[in-house]
Amino acid sequence: MGVPPRGAEAPQEWSVAREMQHVTTVAGRTWPGVVAFVAFAAVFLLQEVYRTVLAVAAPSVAADTDLSAADVGFVTSIYFLAFAAVQLPLGILLDRFGPRRVVAAFLLFGAGGAAVFAISDGMTGLAAGRALTGLGMSCCLMAAFKANTLWWPSGRLVLANGGVLTIGSLGVLIAATPLEHLLAVVDWRVVFLGLGAVPLFAAGAVHSLVPEPPPPDQHAERADWPRLWRELAAVLRSAVFWRFAPVTMLTQAMWIAYQGLWAAPWLETVASLDRPDVIRHLVWLAVAIAVGFFFSSVVIDALRRRGWSPPTVIGIGMALFLLVQLLLVLDLGGRFSLVVWVAFGLFGTVSVAFYAILSQAFSGHLAGRVNTTLNLLVFVSAFLIQFGVGEVIELWPARPDGGHPAVAHRAAMGILLALQALAFLWFLRPVPGRQD
């Protein structure tokens, strides 16, 4: 599947001496790196709670505010649009000022967004609240990835990023069963007011506990704003970047849209499950996501050491993800629906590893901008897909119970599957190596 980017190191035999040498090399900054890792992983967990909270809370919000399926799709997806809108300047801020300061500032917007959402009665206010929340949460994962490039060796970035994603994915689990039980006893507005207090605490904790990173490289010391933007333009002109971007943004956006919102309506309509079984599926989906992030990073790192190209391993995982979607579109899951959705969660995590691959394909001082540029594309796509799925579904008349026929859901996913398949074929094309 082509030549791996820089950072896909030549295979070496494992030895105790080599591992001890590695430990000795990074020992001087291991503890501060661990503190930064844990702090930013916790912040990303908070982002995942905010991103997926409406997968469970949407029925309560819609019933209380008279939102249609398309309205729900828009209100939830506006989060992604705001998220995407700040990614390019965010990359520059992360490269220029570091993740600690940026995260502490941005989380304050997330707190305000939750409060606005909680007190709103119509689509305008709810959309504004979600947009402000998206702005506040937009920095969390990219700050963690940037911190990893500062604290950990390049050969371990896939593993370090996978660890952040594994911990953060527990936020999806928190937004499933616990939230469902909480909504049974308190109003959704109370839940969102409570969520609004958490980023305030997190901002203070990150600012006071996370250590300053190692001294920046010479590029960052000399950088001025025109140069930062010129370097960003170089990323956007890169053939390496555009090899990975289309398949990453479409598979990730589809995966985000469904596990964050549309999986529940699918399970109710296509799989004909009652609410307790839907929640059970969502819980197992969340568990599969956490397991997928962990094992995909471990497997990619282990196979890299044995001579496998990381893009090849990721490509195999993405092919399996497309196969899982095909089973859903053709309604071939049957009584194995839970197994299919667990596989959806597992294999949907694989393409996130491209963030680490691309970080290593460019000079280190570009890491923030490379990741946030890719993230921009992912979340613009997530906005369009999450909103677009609702629009496609509403092309079919609603049933008496307010839902839509199963064929509407299968058609929406089928369109997305076709787009991802085209992007996957583009990814298989060969591409040059490192870009500076």
Task: Strands of 224-322 (E only): list them.
Answer: none
Tell me the range of 20-24, 400-404, 405-409 where mean pLDDT is highest: 405-409
Residue 350 is classified by DSSP as: G
Q: Which residues contact 391 (CB under 8 A, 6 or more apart)?
A: 70, 73
Q: What is the mean pLDDT of residues 57-70?
A: 83
**27: buried, middle or exposed (CB in 10 Å: 19+, 13-18, 0-12)?**
exposed
Q: Which residues contact 188 (CB under 8 A, 6 or more apart)?
A: 57, 60, 61, 64
The 10s digit of each residue's pLDDT in 130-139 is: 999 999 999 9
The 10s digit of each residue's pLDDT in 110-151 is: 999 999 999 998 888 999 999 999 999 999 988 998 888 888
Lowest mean pLDDT across 170-184, 253-267, 280-294: 170-184
Interatomic CA distance for residues 209 and 69, integer angstroms: 43
Mean per-residue pLDDT of the chain: 82
The 10s digit of each residue's pLDDT in 300-317 is: 888 888 888 888 899 999
Are 396 and 322 spatial neighbours (Cβ–Cβ below 8 Å)?
Answer: no
Hey, CA dihedral for 375, 392, 55, 420, is it positive or negative?
Answer: negative
Q: Which residues contact 322 (CB under 8 A, 6 or more apart)?
A: 251, 417, 420, 421, 424
pLDDT value of residue 16? 37
Q: Is the pLDDT score of 11 beyond 50?
A: no
Task: Strands of 193-344 (E only): list them.
Answer: none
Q: Is the pLDDT score of 207 beyond 80?
A: yes
Q: Is the pLDDT score of 219 beyond 60?
A: no
> Percent of the chain having pLDDT more than 90?
26
The 10s digit of each residue's pLDDT in 153-206 is: 777 777 888 888 888 888 877 776 777 788 888 888 998 998 889 999 999 989
Q: Is the pLDDT score of 24 beyond 50?
A: no
Q: What is the mean pLDDT of residues 332-357?
A: 87
Q: Is the pLDDT score of 18 beyond 60?
A: no
